[in-house]
Chains A and B, each alone.
Chain A
Amino acid sequence: ELKVEQNPLFLSMQEGKNYTIYCNYSTTSDRLYWYRQDPGKSLESLFVLLSNGAVKQEGRLMASLDTKARLSTLHITAAVHDLSATYFCAVDKDDMRFGAGTRLTVKP
């Protein structure tokens, strides 16, 4: 059974700092996704990573995928308050399984 683990589950950051969220998964897959969820809202797609070594960047967020290590990272550069949200990774095998989410709070 495919398992997806994220860490940390809670992250409190100061504005301007950098940090990385990790996503490990248990079986081979070449398709990994990162989503953002604001409180009470649905999920918004951030990144789709489809191959080993894939790297994508959007603003202060950068995602990468290492399929051999079964690891994806979401790196936050110079955090700002607007990035406060919950971030989920998801892996697509026969179905799509989600990590537990990382609740990010960026403080002034």
Chain B
Amino acid sequence: DGGITQSPKYLFRKEGQNVTLSCEQNLNHDAMYWYRQDPGQGLRLIYYSQIVNDFQKGDIAEGYSVSREKKESFPLTVTSAQKNPTAFYLCASSGAAPEAFFGQGTRLTVV
């Protein structure tokens, strides 16, 4: 089935560690997005990519990094520079049809 897959579903990070969240899609979508959602809040854009090997910062890119080496994959690294990383992270993709599809999310907790 076509879709967008995020892994892991839950992730625990120790202070000072970098962690990478995976996002893979088999929808042949060009655009991919990463959002952060804090409890009771809306979605804030971290990074987005409209095409392979290109990406742009969103509103809250500091402390995060991404790569887009393949069309299907858009991993997000939460670096030690991100001082408050505990949140729900959502990946989305969109293509010729304007609608964006979301993965099931990764819940990151700092321990």
Name A residues whose Cβ lies closer than 8 Å to a Cβ of B: 31, 33, 35, 41-45, 48, 50, 88, 90, 92, 95-101, 103
Q: How many A-B residue pairs have CB under 8 A?
A: 53
Interchain CB contact under 8 A, B98 and A42: no
Known: A31-B98, A48-B98, A50-B98. A98 touches B43 (CB 8 A): yes
Interchain CB contact under 8 A, A88 and B45: no
Name B residues whose Cβ lies closer than 8 Å to a Cβ of A: 33, 35, 40-45, 48, 56, 58, 90, 92, 94, 98-105
Known: A95-B33, A96-B33, A96-B92. A42 touches B43 (CB 8 A): no
**Neighbouring B residues of A44 by C-beta, 8 Å:** 102
Q: How far is the CB of B75 from chain A (nearest CB, A)?
A: 18
Q: How far is the CB of A68 from chain B (nearest CB, A)?
A: 20
Q: How far is the CB of A9 from chain B (nearest CB, A)?
A: 9
Interchain CB contact under 8 A, A95 and B45: yes
Q: Which of B44, B98, B102 contacts A43 (CB 8 A)?
A: B102
Interchain CB contact under 8 A, B42 and A42: no
CA distance A5 to B98 in the complex (A): 21
**Neighbouring B residues of A101 by C-beta, 8 Å:** 41-42
Interchain CB contact under 8 A, A45 and B42: no
**Neighbouring A residues of B56 by C-beta, 8 Å:** 95
Q: How far is the CB of A27 from chain B (nearest CB, A)?
A: 15
Interface centre among B42, B94, B105 (most CB of A within 10 A): B42
Interchain CB contact under 8 A, A98 and B35: yes
